[in-house]
Amino acid sequence: MQSFKPSRFQILPLIIKNLLIINGLFYLGQITFANSVVLNMGDLFALHYVGSPLFKPWQFITHMFMHDPNNFMHLLGNMFALWMFGSILENTWGAKRFLLFYVACGLGAAILHMSFLWYDMSALQQSLSQFKQAPTYDAFIQLYKANHLGTYFPNTSTMLEEWSMNPQDKNFGVYAIEVMNKYVQAHVNEATLGASGAVFGVLAAFAYLFPNTYLYIYFLVPVKAKWVILIYIAMELFFALRNTAGDNVARWAHLGGALVGFVIVFIWNKTNRKTFY
């Protein structure tokens, strides 16, 4: 096993430094314009579903620099991982190749996320269309359970009890359609933001190139990078498939970034097996 010794090691290489600065400036802008009626950075730069009136093509890029303004740890966690693992990759590949890799992973993450979102939204809109034709109590119960509506509309539980005692009352059906319309509209306009997809690509590449590098869990327990990162990605897959109610993390975007990162680094190293450490 060889040691990691790039010829020109920089603790803060060019692309990493600029990515940290840009993400920081975007975060500062989000806080500054949080209550502005002139500029809503979330609507403008976060990634929206293609069927949303808020969708713009440039959001496939700009969402990578946006983070939850109410959760500083979202930004800090992504930027720390980017610096910790990305710096080594940039020192190994050079600035241009690393930038190309990073952007490709972010785009791949967004495309996979958008694909799953399109599938979910198409199924949801079809279900809503069918429900409007026959807004019965039994039909709404199925939608209620399948979409975890109790999490988003807790007051509907009382309505359901009353509707169950008067299943022929059409007023409940009208109310149920309003609830479903609000639910669909909220999901159509829901924003996706964060550098996590691109960062997961960085993690996948690091695990592939430097699988035996020790990472110290809680600064005490040494574990090889390949196991830490594989377990982390496996957890993302588990939660993505589980689809827990109220989980607002874009799991498929994370997995998309990791997949694209792995594919790219596998192709780049297909004829250069000596880059494993």
pLDDT tens sequence across 214-266: 887 666 778 888 888 999 899 888 887 776 555 556 788 889 999 999 999 99
Model confidence over 134-191: pLDDT tens digits?
Answer: 888 888 888 888 887 877 788 788 888 888 888 888 888 888 899 888 888 888 888 8
Taking residues 113-126, what's their average pLDDT? 88
Contact present, 65 and 102 (Cβ < 8 Å): no
Residues 198 and 138 in one domain: no
Same domain, 208 and 257: yes
Let me know if residue 50 belongs to a domain.
Answer: yes
Q: What is the pLDDT of residue 237?
A: 87
- Asked if residue 163 belongs to a domain, the reply is yes
What is the domain extent for residue 138? Answer: 133-188
Q: What percent of the chain has pLDDT over 70?
A: 91
**End position of a domain, from candidates 152, 173, 188:** 188
User: Could you tell me if 150 and 209 lie in one domain?
Assistant: no
Q: Is residue 4 part of a domain?
A: no
Whether the Cβ atoms of residue 56 and residue 44 lie closer than 8 Å to each other = yes
Examine the pLDDT at 81 and tell me if it is beyond 70.
yes
Q: What is the pLDDT of residue 244?
A: 59
Does one domain contain both 137 and 200? no
- pTM to 2 decimals? 0.84
Contact between 23 and 45 (Cβ < 8 Å)? no
Per residue, the 3-state secondary structure of 161-225, as one string, reads HHHHHCCCCHHHHHHHHHHHHHHHHHHHCCEECCCHHHHHHHHHHHHHHCCCCEEEECCCEEEEH
CATH (domain of 208) = 1.20.1540.10
- Surface-to-core class of residue 132, CB atoms within 10 Å of its CB (0-12 exposed, 13-18 middle, 19+ buried): middle
Query: 202 and 175 in one domain?
Result: no
Reference 51, options 129, 114, 111; nearest CA is: 114
Assigned domain for 250 exists? yes
Whether residue 212 contacts residue 225, with contact meaning beta carbons closer than 8 Å, is answered with yes
Nearest alpha-carbon partner for 144 in 129, 126, 162, 131: 131
Residues 218 and 146 in one domain: no
State residue 204's pLDDT score: 95
pLDDT at 117 (0 to 100): 87
Q: Are residues 77 and 201 in the same domain?
A: yes
Q: What is the pLDDT of residue 1?
A: 38
The confidence score (pLDDT) of residue 219 equals 64
Co-location of 43 and 82 in the same domain: yes
Q: Is the pLDDT of residue 104 over 60?
A: yes
Question: Rounded to an integer, what distance in angstroms lies between the CA atom of residue 93 and that of residue 90?
Answer: 5
Tell me: do 91 and 155 sit in the same domain.
no
Residue 266, in any domain of the structure: yes
6 domain residue, yes or no:
no
Residues 89, 80: Cα–Cα separation, whole Å: 14
Domain end call among 151, 168, 188: 188
Q: Three-class SS of residue 275?
A: helix
Averaged pLDDT for residues 62-72: 93
* Whether 201 and 102 share a structural domain: yes
DSSP 48: E
Q: What is the pLDDT of residue 157?
A: 81
> At 216, phi and psi to the nearest 5?
-100, 105
Q: What integer is the mean pLDDT of 185-204? A: 91
Q: Could you tell me the sign of the dihedral formed by the alpha carbons of 207, 210, 211, 213, in that order?
A: negative
Same domain for 21 and 109? yes
Provide the number of structural domains found in the chain: 2
The whole-angstrom separation of Cα 79 and Cα 203 is: 12
Angle at 262 between CA 259 and CA 264, to 5 degrees: 105
Residue where one domain finishes, among candidates 150, 171, 188:
188
Average pLDDT for residues 121-139, to the nearest whole number? 88
Question: Would you state the pLDDT for residue 3?
Answer: 42
- pLDDT average, residue stretch 60-82: 93
Q: How confident is the model at residue 8 (pLDDT cuts 50, 70, 90)?
A: low
Q: Tell whether 32 and 111 lie within a shared domain.
A: yes
Residue length of the chain = 277
For residue 264, tell me if it sits in a domain.
yes
* Domain contains 114: yes
